[in-house]
Amino acid sequence: MFESEYQEIWIHDSEKLPDSCITCGMFTDQVVKAKAVQHHQKMVPASESNSMMALGCLLHLLGPIGLIAHTALQQGSSPPTTVQKTVVSKSKVKVPCCRLCGSHGIPEPTTADVVAGRYAFNAHPRFIERLNVLRRESMDEV
Ligand SMILES: [Zn+2]
């Protein structure tokens, strides 16, 4: 099947990309901004924990009684110094995508490493081929 020729390829956001549509492989000078979202775990001080802050806000809304309950909660439990929190990083990465494919939907990364600026896309074989040529050329320059 034609679809099976698509391969996942990692793209760096500062990388020079070929003028081929990432979806259909045809020549294009159009670029689209693909939205990338990454969920990752981060250790944060317990005081910054969202759940505790949300609870605090909620209790503050309840007025003086809530305030007492909040203080009691903070004193009663000894929270760990750090907690694991899921952080969502969002970014946009420019990828070549022709008008036609773009009208059907902006390509989305299959996996994103926003922190490192790397994004994986299911790309057309011709796009990958041309990207590999560019990568070889840039290696020759070094
Ligand atoms: Zn296209």
Cα(112) to centroid(ligand 1), Å: 21
**Band of residue 66 on the pLDDT scale cut at 50, 70, 90:** low
Domain of 122 in residue numbering reads as 2-41+89-141
**Are 32 and 76 members of one domain?**
no
38-52: buried (b, 16+ CB within 10 Å) or exposed (e) per residue?
beeeeeeeeeebeeb
User: Do 18 and 32 reside in the same domain of the chain?
Assistant: yes
Tens digits of residue pLDDT in 81-103 = 888 899 899 999 999 999 999 99
34: CA distance to ligand 1 center in Å? 14
For residue 103, report the distance from its CA to the centre of ligand 1, in Å. Answer: 9
Residues 137, 80, single domain; the answer is no
Alpha carbon of 108 to those of 2, 56, 80, 98: distances in Å? Answer: 20, 37, 38, 14
Question: What's the gap in Å between 18 CA and the centre of ligand 1?
Answer: 13
The domain total for the chain is 2
16 and 54 together in one domain:
no
If asked whether residues 36 and 97 sit together in one domain, one would say yes
Do 94 and 118 lie in one domain? The reply is yes
pLDDT digits (tens, 9 = 90+) for 12-44: 999 999 999 999 999 999 999 999 999 988 888
Same domain, 36 and 6: yes
Are 93 and 130 found together in one domain? yes
